[in-house]
Structure 1
Protein backbone atom coordinates (compact mmCIF):
# COMPACT_ATOMS: atom_id res chain seq x y z
CA UNK A 1 0.00 0.00 0.00
CA UNK A 2 1.02 3.65 -0.39
CA UNK A 3 0.36 6.90 1.41
CA UNK A 4 0.14 10.29 -0.30
CA UNK A 5 0.39 13.26 2.03
CA UNK A 6 -1.82 16.31 1.76
CA UNK A 7 -0.56 19.64 0.52
CA UNK A 8 -0.17 21.34 3.89
CA UNK A 9 -1.56 20.00 7.16
CA UNK A 10 -3.99 17.13 6.70
CA UNK A 11 -7.51 17.56 8.05
CA UNK A 12 -8.44 13.89 7.42
CA UNK A 13 -7.15 10.71 5.84
CA UNK A 14 -9.00 8.99 2.99
CA UNK A 15 -8.71 5.26 2.24
CA UNK A 16 -9.51 4.27 -1.37
CA UNK A 17 -10.48 0.67 -2.18
CA UNK A 18 -10.52 0.18 -5.95
CA UNK A 19 -12.70 -2.17 -7.97
CA UNK A 20 -12.02 -5.43 -9.78
CA UNK A 21 -10.12 -5.56 -13.09
CA UNK A 22 -8.14 -2.39 -12.34
CA UNK A 23 -5.45 -1.02 -10.04
CA UNK A 24 -5.07 2.11 -7.97
CA UNK A 25 -3.41 4.03 -10.81
CA UNK A 26 -6.82 4.47 -12.43
CA UNK A 27 -7.68 6.73 -9.50
CA UNK A 28 -4.66 9.01 -9.84
CA UNK A 29 -6.82 12.06 -10.54
CA UNK A 30 -8.97 11.40 -7.48
CA UNK A 31 -5.93 10.89 -5.28
CA UNK A 32 -4.50 14.21 -6.42
CA UNK A 33 -7.78 16.05 -5.82
CA UNK A 34 -7.93 14.76 -2.26
CA UNK A 35 -4.30 15.78 -1.66
CA UNK A 36 -4.69 19.36 -2.87
CA UNK A 37 -7.89 19.63 -0.82
CA UNK A 38 -6.05 18.84 2.40
CA UNK A 39 -6.44 15.07 2.80
CA UNK A 40 -3.87 12.33 3.20
CA UNK A 41 -4.65 9.31 1.02
CA UNK A 42 -3.92 5.64 1.68
CA UNK A 43 -4.53 3.13 -1.10
CA UNK A 44 -2.90 0.27 -2.96
CA UNK A 45 -3.46 -2.58 -5.38
CA UNK A 46 -5.66 -5.46 -4.33
CA UNK A 47 -3.89 -8.84 -4.54
CA UNK A 48 -3.36 -9.79 -8.19
CA UNK A 49 -4.40 -6.34 -9.45
CA UNK A 50 -1.07 -4.52 -9.71
CA UNK A 51 0.16 -3.20 -13.08
CA UNK A 52 2.67 -6.05 -13.32
CA UNK A 53 0.15 -8.78 -12.43
CA UNK A 54 -1.39 -9.15 -15.85
CA UNK A 55 -0.12 -12.50 -17.09
CA UNK A 56 -2.82 -14.73 -15.63
CA UNK A 57 -6.58 -14.54 -14.98
CA UNK A 58 -7.83 -13.29 -11.63
CA UNK A 59 -8.22 -16.21 -9.26
CA UNK A 60 -7.32 -14.64 -5.91
CA UNK A 61 -9.17 -15.37 -2.70
CA UNK A 62 -11.71 -12.83 -1.52
CA UNK A 63 -10.40 -13.39 1.99
CA UNK A 64 -7.11 -11.94 0.72
CA UNK A 65 -8.97 -8.93 -0.68
CA UNK A 66 -10.71 -8.36 2.64
CA UNK A 67 -7.46 -8.74 4.57
CA UNK A 68 -5.75 -6.14 2.39
CA UNK A 69 -8.71 -3.77 2.72
CA UNK A 70 -8.56 -4.17 6.48
CA UNK A 71 -4.84 -3.41 6.54
CA UNK A 72 -5.34 -0.15 4.65
CA UNK A 73 -8.10 0.91 7.04
CA UNK A 74 -6.00 -0.04 10.07
CA UNK A 75 -3.10 2.03 8.73
CA UNK A 76 -5.41 5.02 8.38
CA UNK A 77 -6.82 4.59 11.89
CA UNK A 78 -3.30 5.01 13.28
CA UNK A 79 -3.33 8.63 12.07
CA UNK A 80 -4.35 11.46 14.37
CA UNK A 81 -7.05 12.83 12.07
CA UNK A 82 -10.53 11.49 11.14
CA UNK A 83 -10.79 8.64 8.63
CA UNK A 84 -13.08 8.43 5.60
CA UNK A 85 -13.29 5.27 3.51
CA UNK A 86 -13.99 5.38 -0.23
CA UNK A 87 -14.93 2.20 -2.10
CA UNK A 88 -15.62 1.85 -5.81
CA UNK A 89 -17.35 -1.02 -7.62
CA UNK A 90 -16.32 -4.31 -6.07
CA UNK A 91 -14.21 -2.29 -3.63
CA UNK A 92 -17.43 -0.69 -2.38
CA UNK A 93 -18.79 -4.15 -1.56
CA UNK A 94 -15.62 -4.91 0.38
CA UNK A 95 -16.24 -1.79 2.46
CA UNK A 96 -19.86 -2.85 3.00
CA UNK A 97 -18.78 -6.33 4.12
CA UNK A 98 -16.28 -4.75 6.49
CA UNK A 99 -19.01 -2.58 8.03
CA UNK A 100 -21.20 -5.68 8.42
CA UNK A 101 -18.49 -7.61 10.24
CA UNK A 102 -16.86 -5.05 12.54
CA UNK A 103 -17.10 -1.59 14.06
CA UNK A 104 -14.84 1.05 12.52
CA UNK A 105 -13.88 4.32 14.13
CA UNK A 106 -14.36 6.18 10.87
CA UNK A 107 -16.04 9.52 10.25
CA UNK A 108 -17.82 8.51 7.06
CA UNK A 109 -18.03 6.18 4.09
CA UNK A 110 -18.33 7.03 0.40
CA UNK A 111 -19.38 4.30 -2.03
CA UNK A 112 -19.49 4.67 -5.81
CA UNK A 113 -21.31 2.24 -8.12
CA UNK A 114 -21.24 -0.69 -5.66
CA UNK A 115 -21.45 -4.16 -7.23
CA UNK A 116 -24.41 -5.24 -5.12
CA UNK A 117 -26.38 -6.57 -8.09
CA UNK A 118 -24.68 -6.91 -11.47
CA UNK A 119 -26.81 -6.67 -14.59
CA UNK A 120 -23.86 -7.32 -16.91
CA UNK A 121 -22.96 -10.99 -16.77
CA UNK A 122 -20.55 -13.13 -18.82
CA UNK A 123 -22.02 -14.95 -21.82
CA UNK A 124 -24.34 -17.76 -20.73
CA UNK A 125 -22.18 -20.34 -22.49
CA UNK A 126 -19.11 -19.33 -20.49
CA UNK A 127 -21.11 -19.26 -17.28
CA UNK A 128 -22.21 -22.83 -17.90
CA UNK A 129 -18.60 -23.90 -18.40
CA UNK A 130 -17.60 -22.54 -14.99
CA UNK A 131 -19.86 -25.12 -13.36
CA UNK A 132 -17.78 -27.81 -15.02
CA UNK A 133 -14.26 -26.50 -14.47
CA UNK A 134 -13.62 -23.77 -11.91
CA UNK A 135 -10.08 -23.18 -13.18
CA UNK A 136 -11.29 -22.47 -16.72
CA UNK A 137 -10.76 -18.92 -17.95
CA UNK A 138 -13.80 -16.71 -18.20
CA UNK A 139 -14.13 -13.25 -19.76
CA UNK A 140 -16.54 -11.01 -17.91
CA UNK A 141 -16.56 -8.88 -21.06
CA UNK A 142 -15.99 -5.47 -19.45
CA UNK A 143 -14.24 -2.79 -21.51
CA UNK A 144 -13.24 0.80 -20.86
CA UNK A 145 -16.03 2.00 -23.14
CA UNK A 146 -18.55 0.47 -20.74
CA UNK A 147 -17.04 2.23 -17.74
CA UNK A 148 -16.52 5.84 -18.80
CA UNK A 149 -17.31 8.36 -21.53
CA UNK A 150 -14.08 10.22 -20.82
CA UNK A 151 -11.70 9.75 -23.76
CA UNK A 152 -9.01 11.83 -22.04
CA UNK A 153 -8.63 9.17 -19.35
CA UNK A 154 -8.46 6.21 -21.70
CA UNK A 155 -5.45 4.18 -20.48
CA UNK A 156 -2.30 4.78 -22.50
CA UNK A 157 0.54 3.49 -20.31
CA UNK A 158 1.59 0.30 -18.57
CA UNK A 159 0.64 1.94 -15.26
CA UNK A 160 -2.98 2.22 -16.37
CA UNK A 161 -3.69 -0.76 -18.62
CA UNK A 162 -7.01 -1.44 -20.28
CA UNK A 163 -9.48 -3.13 -18.00
CA UNK A 164 -8.56 -6.83 -17.66
CA UNK A 165 -11.71 -8.83 -16.97
CA UNK A 166 -10.34 -12.34 -17.54
CA UNK A 167 -10.97 -14.47 -14.45
CA UNK A 168 -11.24 -18.11 -13.43
CA UNK A 169 -14.64 -19.68 -13.14
CA UNK A 170 -14.12 -20.27 -9.42
CA UNK A 171 -13.24 -16.59 -8.89
CA UNK A 172 -16.42 -15.47 -10.62
CA UNK A 173 -18.57 -17.83 -8.56
CA UNK A 174 -16.90 -16.61 -5.37
CA UNK A 175 -17.47 -13.01 -6.45
CA UNK A 176 -21.15 -13.72 -7.07
CA UNK A 177 -21.49 -15.30 -3.62
CA UNK A 178 -19.56 -12.43 -2.02
CA UNK A 179 -21.79 -9.70 -3.48
CA UNK A 180 -24.96 -11.71 -2.81
CA UNK A 181 -23.85 -12.10 0.78
CA UNK A 182 -23.55 -8.34 1.15
CA UNK A 183 -27.12 -7.86 -0.05
CA UNK A 184 -28.73 -10.70 1.89
CA UNK A 185 -26.69 -10.60 5.08
CA UNK A 186 -28.73 -10.50 8.27
CA UNK A 187 -26.05 -8.24 9.70
CA UNK A 188 -26.75 -4.63 8.84
CA UNK A 189 -23.94 -2.17 8.33
CA UNK A 190 -22.54 -0.04 11.10
CA UNK A 191 -24.42 3.23 11.57
CA UNK A 192 -21.90 5.62 10.02
CA UNK A 193 -22.52 8.65 7.75
CA UNK A 194 -22.69 7.28 4.22
CA UNK A 195 -22.74 8.76 0.71
CA UNK A 196 -23.52 6.55 -2.28
CA UNK A 197 -22.86 7.70 -5.84
CA UNK A 198 -24.65 5.83 -8.63
CA UNK A 199 -24.49 6.31 -12.40
CA UNK A 200 -27.76 6.79 -14.26
CA UNK A 201 -26.40 5.06 -17.38
CA UNK A 202 -24.49 2.33 -15.53
CA UNK A 203 -24.24 -0.74 -17.76
CA UNK A 204 -22.74 -2.96 -15.05
CA UNK A 205 -24.86 -2.57 -11.93
CA UNK A 206 -28.56 -2.30 -11.13
CA UNK A 207 -28.79 1.02 -9.30
CA UNK A 208 -32.41 0.32 -8.29
CA UNK A 209 -31.19 -2.57 -6.16
CA UNK A 210 -28.53 -0.33 -4.62
CA UNK A 211 -31.22 2.13 -3.55
CA UNK A 212 -33.35 -0.68 -2.08
CA UNK A 213 -30.36 -1.97 -0.12
CA UNK A 214 -29.61 1.48 1.26
CA UNK A 215 -33.18 1.97 2.48
CA UNK A 216 -32.91 -1.24 4.53
CA UNK A 217 -29.86 -0.06 6.46
CA UNK A 218 -30.14 1.45 9.98
CA UNK A 219 -28.39 4.68 9.03
CA UNK A 220 -29.19 7.95 10.74
CA UNK A 221 -27.31 9.96 8.13
CA UNK A 222 -27.01 9.06 4.45
CA UNK A 223 -27.05 10.57 0.97
CA UNK A 224 -27.92 8.84 -2.31
CA UNK A 225 -26.89 10.59 -5.52
CA UNK A 226 -27.77 9.39 -9.01
CA UNK A 227 -25.69 11.09 -11.69
CA UNK A 228 -27.93 11.12 -14.73
CA UNK A 229 -26.30 10.00 -17.96
CA UNK A 230 -23.08 8.96 -16.21
CA UNK A 231 -21.32 5.66 -16.84
CA UNK A 232 -20.09 3.33 -14.09
CA UNK A 233 -16.81 5.07 -13.16
CA UNK A 234 -18.27 8.33 -11.87
CA UNK A 235 -14.85 9.63 -10.76
CA UNK A 236 -13.52 9.25 -14.31
CA UNK A 237 -16.41 10.86 -16.14
CA UNK A 238 -15.97 14.21 -17.95
CA UNK A 239 -18.00 15.82 -15.12
CA UNK A 240 -15.81 14.30 -12.40
CA UNK A 241 -15.01 17.68 -10.86
CA UNK A 242 -18.66 18.01 -9.91
CA UNK A 243 -18.63 14.51 -8.41
CA UNK A 244 -15.54 15.33 -6.39
CA UNK A 245 -17.00 18.58 -5.06
CA UNK A 246 -20.10 16.68 -3.96
CA UNK A 247 -17.86 14.19 -2.18
CA UNK A 248 -15.74 16.90 -0.59
CA UNK A 249 -18.88 18.65 0.70
CA UNK A 250 -19.96 15.40 2.37
CA UNK A 251 -16.55 15.00 4.02
CA UNK A 252 -16.37 18.64 5.12
CA UNK A 253 -19.83 18.38 6.69
CA UNK A 254 -18.69 15.25 8.50
CA UNK A 255 -15.68 17.08 9.87
CA UNK A 256 -17.83 20.00 11.00
CA UNK A 257 -20.08 17.59 12.90
CA UNK A 258 -16.95 16.44 14.76
CA UNK A 259 -16.12 20.01 15.75
CA UNK A 260 -13.53 20.82 13.10
CA UNK A 261 -13.43 24.31 11.61
CA UNK A 262 -13.50 23.97 7.82
CA UNK A 263 -12.43 26.89 5.66
CA UNK A 264 -13.91 27.02 2.16
Structure 2
Protein backbone atom coordinates (compact mmCIF):
# COMPACT_ATOMS: atom_id res chain seq x y z
CA UNK A 1 0.00 0.00 0.00
CA UNK A 2 1.15 3.50 -0.84
CA UNK A 3 -0.20 6.83 0.42
CA UNK A 4 0.49 10.28 -1.01
CA UNK A 5 -0.79 13.01 1.32
CA UNK A 6 -1.88 16.46 0.18
CA UNK A 7 -0.62 19.54 2.04
CA UNK A 8 -4.14 20.74 2.82
CA UNK A 9 -6.36 17.74 2.11
CA UNK A 10 -10.07 18.16 1.48
CA UNK A 11 -10.77 14.52 0.57
CA UNK A 12 -9.11 11.18 -0.16
CA UNK A 13 -9.21 9.01 -3.26
CA UNK A 14 -8.50 5.30 -3.65
CA UNK A 15 -7.12 4.41 -7.09
CA UNK A 16 -7.34 0.82 -8.35
CA UNK A 17 -5.07 0.02 -11.29
CA UNK A 18 -5.81 -2.37 -14.15
CA UNK A 19 -4.56 -5.77 -15.26
CA UNK A 20 -0.88 -6.45 -15.98
CA UNK A 21 0.28 -3.10 -14.56
CA UNK A 22 1.21 -1.54 -11.21
CA UNK A 23 0.75 1.60 -9.12
CA UNK A 24 4.00 3.14 -10.40
CA UNK A 25 2.31 3.87 -13.73
CA UNK A 26 0.00 6.33 -11.96
CA UNK A 27 2.54 8.93 -10.85
CA UNK A 28 1.11 11.69 -13.05
CA UNK A 29 -2.49 11.00 -12.05
CA UNK A 30 -1.61 10.67 -8.37
CA UNK A 31 0.20 14.00 -8.40
CA UNK A 32 -2.73 15.68 -10.13
CA UNK A 33 -5.07 14.50 -7.38
CA UNK A 34 -2.60 15.37 -4.62
CA UNK A 35 -2.05 18.89 -5.94
CA UNK A 36 -5.84 19.29 -6.05
CA UNK A 37 -6.08 18.56 -2.31
CA UNK A 38 -6.67 14.81 -2.29
CA UNK A 39 -4.83 12.21 -0.26
CA UNK A 40 -4.11 9.37 -2.67
CA UNK A 41 -4.17 5.74 -1.54
CA UNK A 42 -3.33 2.82 -3.81
CA UNK A 43 -0.98 -0.10 -4.15
CA UNK A 44 -0.09 -3.09 -6.29
CA UNK A 45 -2.87 -5.63 -6.65
CA UNK A 46 -2.10 -9.28 -5.78
CA UNK A 47 -0.04 -10.92 -8.51
CA UNK A 48 1.07 -7.59 -9.95
CA UNK A 49 3.89 -5.10 -9.49
CA UNK A 50 6.05 -5.94 -6.49
CA UNK A 51 3.24 -7.60 -4.51
CA UNK A 52 4.37 -11.19 -5.17
CA UNK A 53 6.63 -13.48 -7.15
CA UNK A 54 3.55 -15.16 -8.63
CA UNK A 55 3.06 -12.40 -11.14
CA UNK A 56 0.02 -12.70 -13.39
CA UNK A 57 -1.60 -15.25 -11.08
CA UNK A 58 -4.30 -15.21 -8.42
CA UNK A 59 -6.18 -17.98 -6.69
CA UNK A 60 -9.43 -16.04 -6.44
CA UNK A 61 -10.82 -12.67 -7.60
CA UNK A 62 -11.70 -12.12 -3.95
CA UNK A 63 -7.99 -11.47 -3.32
CA UNK A 64 -8.36 -8.21 -5.22
CA UNK A 65 -11.44 -7.16 -3.26
CA UNK A 66 -9.79 -7.95 0.07
CA UNK A 67 -6.73 -5.89 -0.87
CA UNK A 68 -8.83 -2.90 -1.92
CA UNK A 69 -10.66 -3.18 1.41
CA UNK A 70 -7.35 -2.39 3.13
CA UNK A 71 -6.78 0.65 0.92
CA UNK A 72 -10.26 1.97 1.67
CA UNK A 73 -9.71 1.51 5.40
CA UNK A 74 -6.51 3.54 5.13
CA UNK A 75 -8.30 6.29 3.21
CA UNK A 76 -11.13 6.42 5.76
CA UNK A 77 -8.59 6.94 8.54
CA UNK A 78 -8.10 10.52 7.30
CA UNK A 79 -11.74 11.21 8.28
CA UNK A 80 -12.43 13.03 5.03
CA UNK A 81 -14.78 12.19 2.14
CA UNK A 82 -13.45 9.12 0.30
CA UNK A 83 -13.77 8.66 -3.45
CA UNK A 84 -12.78 5.68 -5.58
CA UNK A 85 -11.35 5.52 -9.10
CA UNK A 86 -11.06 2.15 -10.81
CA UNK A 87 -9.40 1.79 -14.19
CA UNK A 88 -10.07 -1.16 -16.51
CA UNK A 89 -9.89 -4.32 -14.37
CA UNK A 90 -9.67 -1.93 -11.44
CA UNK A 91 -13.14 -0.76 -12.44
CA UNK A 92 -14.39 -4.34 -12.38
CA UNK A 93 -12.83 -4.79 -8.95
CA UNK A 94 -14.52 -1.59 -7.75
CA UNK A 95 -17.89 -2.86 -8.96
CA UNK A 96 -17.48 -6.16 -7.13
CA UNK A 97 -16.19 -4.37 -4.02
CA UNK A 98 -19.28 -2.13 -3.94
CA UNK A 99 -21.56 -5.14 -4.20
CA UNK A 100 -20.02 -6.46 -0.98
CA UNK A 101 -19.52 -3.23 0.97
CA UNK A 102 -22.07 -0.66 -0.28
CA UNK A 103 -20.97 2.07 2.14
CA UNK A 104 -18.42 4.70 3.03
CA UNK A 105 -17.65 6.05 -0.45
CA UNK A 106 -18.70 9.55 -1.53
CA UNK A 107 -18.46 8.86 -5.26
CA UNK A 108 -17.13 6.39 -7.82
CA UNK A 109 -15.29 6.96 -11.11
CA UNK A 110 -14.91 4.07 -13.54
CA UNK A 111 -12.29 4.62 -16.24
CA UNK A 112 -12.80 2.33 -19.26
CA UNK A 113 -14.05 -0.38 -16.87
CA UNK A 114 -13.45 -3.96 -17.91
CA UNK A 115 -16.98 -5.30 -18.37
CA UNK A 116 -16.22 -7.18 -21.58
CA UNK A 117 -13.01 -8.27 -23.31
CA UNK A 118 -11.87 -7.21 -26.76
CA UNK A 119 -8.82 -9.49 -26.54
CA UNK A 120 -9.78 -13.11 -25.99
CA UNK A 121 -7.85 -16.39 -26.21
CA UNK A 122 -8.53 -18.51 -29.28
CA UNK A 123 -11.44 -20.93 -28.96
CA UNK A 124 -9.21 -23.93 -28.26
CA UNK A 125 -7.33 -22.18 -25.46
CA UNK A 126 -10.59 -20.87 -24.05
CA UNK A 127 -12.00 -24.40 -24.02
CA UNK A 128 -8.94 -26.13 -22.61
CA UNK A 129 -8.49 -23.47 -19.92
CA UNK A 130 -11.51 -24.87 -18.08
CA UNK A 131 -9.69 -28.14 -17.49
CA UNK A 132 -6.34 -26.51 -16.88
CA UNK A 133 -7.98 -24.36 -14.21
CA UNK A 134 -8.19 -27.55 -12.13
CA UNK A 135 -5.07 -29.40 -13.29
CA UNK A 136 -2.59 -26.55 -13.81
CA UNK A 137 -4.14 -23.28 -12.58
CA UNK A 138 -0.84 -21.38 -12.56
CA UNK A 139 -0.02 -22.19 -16.21
CA UNK A 140 0.60 -18.91 -18.08
CA UNK A 141 -0.32 -17.70 -21.56
CA UNK A 142 0.20 -14.41 -23.39
CA UNK A 143 -2.29 -11.75 -22.32
CA UNK A 144 -2.26 -9.97 -25.67
CA UNK A 145 -2.13 -6.61 -23.89
CA UNK A 146 0.55 -4.37 -25.39
CA UNK A 147 1.35 -0.71 -24.62
CA UNK A 148 0.40 0.50 -28.10
CA UNK A 149 -3.13 -0.90 -27.67
CA UNK A 150 -3.56 0.98 -24.40
CA UNK A 151 -2.49 4.52 -25.29
CA UNK A 152 -1.38 6.85 -28.09
CA UNK A 153 1.07 8.56 -25.73
CA UNK A 154 4.50 7.67 -27.16
CA UNK A 155 6.31 8.60 -23.95
CA UNK A 156 4.14 6.22 -21.92
CA UNK A 157 4.53 3.47 -24.54
CA UNK A 158 8.32 3.77 -24.37
CA UNK A 159 8.30 3.57 -20.57
CA UNK A 160 6.04 0.52 -20.62
CA UNK A 161 8.24 -1.30 -23.13
CA UNK A 162 11.17 -0.88 -20.73
CA UNK A 163 9.16 -1.58 -17.56
CA UNK A 164 10.23 -4.85 -15.95
CA UNK A 165 7.05 -4.90 -13.85
CA UNK A 166 4.74 -4.80 -16.88
CA UNK A 167 3.14 -8.25 -17.11
CA UNK A 168 2.80 -9.97 -20.48
CA UNK A 169 1.52 -13.38 -19.32
CA UNK A 170 -1.41 -14.32 -17.10
CA UNK A 171 -2.43 -17.62 -15.57
CA UNK A 172 -5.31 -19.89 -16.48
CA UNK A 173 -6.81 -19.32 -13.03
CA UNK A 174 -6.56 -15.55 -13.47
CA UNK A 175 -8.47 -15.81 -16.76
CA UNK A 176 -11.20 -18.03 -15.33
CA UNK A 177 -11.60 -15.78 -12.27
CA UNK A 178 -11.87 -12.79 -14.59
CA UNK A 179 -14.67 -14.48 -16.54
CA UNK A 180 -16.55 -15.21 -13.31
CA UNK A 181 -16.21 -11.59 -12.20
CA UNK A 182 -17.41 -10.31 -15.57
CA UNK A 183 -20.51 -12.48 -15.29
CA UNK A 184 -21.11 -11.38 -11.71
CA UNK A 185 -20.77 -7.69 -12.58
CA UNK A 186 -23.57 -7.92 -15.15
CA UNK A 187 -26.05 -9.34 -12.64
CA UNK A 188 -28.76 -6.95 -11.35
CA UNK A 189 -27.84 -5.10 -8.14
CA UNK A 190 -29.00 -2.16 -6.05
CA UNK A 191 -25.50 -1.57 -4.66
CA UNK A 192 -25.12 1.63 -6.69
CA UNK A 193 -28.57 3.04 -6.08
CA UNK A 194 -27.38 6.02 -4.02
CA UNK A 195 -23.72 6.29 -5.06
CA UNK A 196 -22.73 9.14 -7.42
CA UNK A 197 -21.22 7.34 -10.43
CA UNK A 198 -19.20 8.68 -13.35
CA UNK A 199 -18.27 6.26 -16.14
CA UNK A 200 -15.49 7.64 -18.34
CA UNK A 201 -15.08 5.45 -21.41
CA UNK A 202 -12.45 5.54 -24.13
CA UNK A 203 -14.01 6.01 -27.55
CA UNK A 204 -11.38 3.90 -29.32
CA UNK A 205 -10.84 1.04 -26.91
CA UNK A 206 -8.80 -1.92 -28.18
CA UNK A 207 -8.87 -3.75 -24.83
CA UNK A 208 -12.36 -3.36 -23.35
CA UNK A 209 -15.64 -4.02 -25.16
CA UNK A 210 -17.32 -0.65 -24.71
CA UNK A 211 -20.67 -2.07 -25.86
CA UNK A 212 -20.74 -4.08 -22.64
CA UNK A 213 -19.83 -0.97 -20.64
CA UNK A 214 -22.79 0.88 -22.15
CA UNK A 215 -25.07 -2.11 -21.52
CA UNK A 216 -24.02 -2.30 -17.87
CA UNK A 217 -24.49 1.45 -17.42
CA UNK A 218 -27.92 1.54 -19.05
CA UNK A 219 -29.21 -1.40 -17.02
CA UNK A 220 -27.73 -0.26 -13.69
CA UNK A 221 -30.21 0.79 -11.02
CA UNK A 222 -28.96 4.21 -9.92
CA UNK A 223 -30.35 7.60 -8.92
CA UNK A 224 -27.15 9.41 -9.91
CA UNK A 225 -25.12 8.12 -12.83
CA UNK A 226 -23.28 9.84 -15.67
CA UNK A 227 -21.66 8.37 -18.78
CA UNK A 228 -19.16 10.18 -20.97
CA UNK A 229 -17.30 8.74 -23.93
CA UNK A 230 -14.03 10.31 -25.04
CA UNK A 231 -13.98 10.15 -28.82
CA UNK A 232 -10.69 9.01 -30.34
CA UNK A 233 -9.01 8.28 -27.01
CA UNK A 234 -7.47 4.86 -26.39
CA UNK A 235 -8.13 2.65 -23.36
CA UNK A 236 -5.92 4.49 -20.83
CA UNK A 237 -7.70 7.84 -20.92
CA UNK A 238 -5.58 9.20 -18.05
CA UNK A 239 -2.43 8.54 -20.10
CA UNK A 240 -3.65 9.96 -23.39
CA UNK A 241 -2.32 13.24 -24.85
CA UNK A 242 -5.65 14.79 -23.79
CA UNK A 243 -5.29 13.57 -20.20
CA UNK A 244 -5.42 17.02 -18.61
CA UNK A 245 -8.92 17.54 -20.00
CA UNK A 246 -9.87 14.05 -18.83
CA UNK A 247 -8.61 14.80 -15.33
CA UNK A 248 -10.49 18.10 -15.19
CA UNK A 249 -13.72 16.24 -15.90
CA UNK A 250 -12.99 13.69 -13.16
CA UNK A 251 -12.12 16.42 -10.66
CA UNK A 252 -15.25 18.41 -11.53
CA UNK A 253 -17.31 15.30 -10.82
CA UNK A 254 -15.92 14.68 -7.33
CA UNK A 255 -16.04 18.36 -6.38
CA UNK A 256 -19.83 18.15 -6.56
CA UNK A 257 -19.82 15.73 -3.62
CA UNK A 258 -17.16 17.13 -1.30
CA UNK A 259 -19.47 18.00 1.59
Same fold (TM over 0.5): yes
Q: Could you state the TM-score of these two structures normalised by the residue count of structure 2?
A: 0.91
Q: In the TM superposition, what whole-angstrom CA distance separates every residue of 1:50-88 from its partner, at most 9, and x where no partner exists?
A: 247567542342121110011111111121211110101
- In structure 1, the partner of 2:5 is 5
Change (3 A) 1:162 1:142: farther
1:248 aligns with 2:251: yes
Name the CA distance, whole Å, in 2 between partners of 1:160 and 1:52. Answer: 16
Task: Give the number of equivalent residue pairs.
Answer: 255
Name the CA distance, whole Å, in 2 between partners of 1:163 and 1:192. Answer: 33
In the TM superposition, residue 21 of structure 1 has moved relative to its aligned partner by 0.5
Match of 1:207 among 194, 205, 210: 210
Task: Give matches, 1:118-197, under 5 Å.
Answer: 118-134=117-133, 135=136, 136-156=139-159, 160-161=163-164, 163-186=166-189, 188-197=191-200
Name the CA distance, whole Å, in 2 between partners of 1:212 and 1:29. Answer: 31
Question: Are the aligned partners of 2:49 and 2:165 in contact in 1 as well (CA < 8 Å)?
Answer: no
Name the CA distance, whole Å, in 1 between partners of 2:168 and 2:80. Answer: 37
- In structure 1, the partner of 2:221 is 218
Name the CA distance, whole Å, in 1 between partners of 2:162 and 2:41. Answer: 18
Question: Are the aligned partners of 1:18 and 1:88 in contact in 2 as well (CA < 8 Å)?
Answer: yes
Structure 1 unaligned residues grouped into runs of 5+: 259-264
Name the CA distance, whole Å, in 2 between partners of 1:158 and 1:54. Answer: 20
Name the CA distance, whole Å, in 2 between partners of 1:71 and 1:190. Answer: 24
- In structure 1, the partner of 2:92 is 93
Change (3 A) 1:187 1:221: closer
Task: Give matches, 1:9-20, under 5 Å.
Answer: 9-20=8-19
Structure 2 unaligned residues grouped into runs of 5+: none
Name the CA distance, whole Å, in 1 between partners of 2:163 and 2:105. Answer: 30
- In structure 2, the partner of 1:261 is none
| Structural RMSD (CA) | 2.1
In the TM superposition, residue 5 of structure 1 has moved relative to its aligned partner by 0.8
In the TM superposition, residue 122 of structure 1 has moved relative to its aligned partner by 1.8
